Amino acid sequence: MQELKFSTSQTERLDEFLRRELPRAVVSIQVLRAYSTTGISNSKIRRLILAGAVQVNGRPVLRPAFELRGHSIITVRFEAERFFYEKQPDDLAFEMSDAAVLYEDENLIFVDKPADFPVEQTITGNRANLHDAVVDYLWKRQPELRNPPYVGIMHRLDRTTSGVILFTKTRAVNKEISEVFQSHILTKQYLAVVEAPRGAKGQASQFTVEMFMGRVTGKSQQGKWGQVAESRGGQYSKTDIRVLKKITVEGRHCLLIECSLHTGRTHQIRVHLASRGLPILGDELYGGYPAKRMYLHAAHLAFTLNGKKYDVKAAHFFEATNVFSRE
């Protein structure tokens, strides 16, 4: 576990301070120097703060916009291997093409993300990712540009999750898109494959899972979320779940399930399904049976922006892979 300490007497936002000072500190430490060859992204700083890894004057601060005033001592604790998150052995080799574009206009581009491919760059800058692939794709279409085109990340999918993901092509719509996601005035539907419990019937059924969620592992351990009381910092989460049909995947009797999100917490669907004894196939972190991939797929994203309706669907599981057979 690494611990870095900083002091300042300036008045400024915590995330902006760390964005400037953390890369300098990392480069100055011999044991970390090999990791850090590029700057640290704003999203990485934000997640570091939200994970509770940053203290100001001995107290945890969970707000990136927290204002430092007077003389402040900032302490940052992290595990180097997890913080820098090197390339995973099963990362997919992927090159963006027209076939991966689900919809595009002058402001937005919706992409069909493959499983086992990260959405964004890591600190070390040595890991292929979808954001860079989209930038390269758009730049190749406009070779006259001297600098790479802008591509904004508005939401994320886990590395192992496939399906619809949205990027912005202009900063002008970032605020409106952020408000859409934060207010949950949109449709987000996922498909998941779970191993059928013994005695499971074939007819469709539906139910809703609601709970307060939070991280249940230590900061130096692999991130795992679960039920946490609101009084202990848990955040409200809600998912509508509908069992669609029986299905056979990788030779196992499973259920195909549709999940509609009302909130967007980390690992929400994975935790909610596991809490009902229905862990996702391939999701070993939450008790799922080992498989070729984690079978979670962002199938549908819809919302209205400035009077224009967007309704985008990714290729169905059956179209995207040949490991399925219907019963």
Give me the active site residues, please: 158
As a whole number of angstroms, the distance between CA 327 and CA 318 comes to 13
As a whole number of angstroms, the distance between CA 18 and CA 98 comes to 38
Smallest CA-to-CA distance from 287 within 195, 207, 157 is with: 195
3-state secondary structure the chain: CEEEEEEECCCEEHHHHHHHHHHHHHHHCHHHHCCCCCCCCHHHHHHHHHCCCEEECCEECCCCCCEECCCEEEEEEECHHHHHCCCCCCCCCCCCCHHHEEEECCCEEEEEECCCCCCCCCCCCCCCCHHHHHHHHHHHHCCCCCCCCCCEECCCCCCCCEEEEEEECCHHHHHHHHHHHHHCCCEEEEEEEEECCCCCCCCCEEEEEEEEEEECCCCCCCCCEEECCHHHCCEEEEEEEEEEEEEEECCEEEEEEEEEECCCCCCHHHHHHHHCCCCECCCHHHCCCCCCCCCEEEEEEEEEECCEEEEEECCCHHHHCCCEEEC
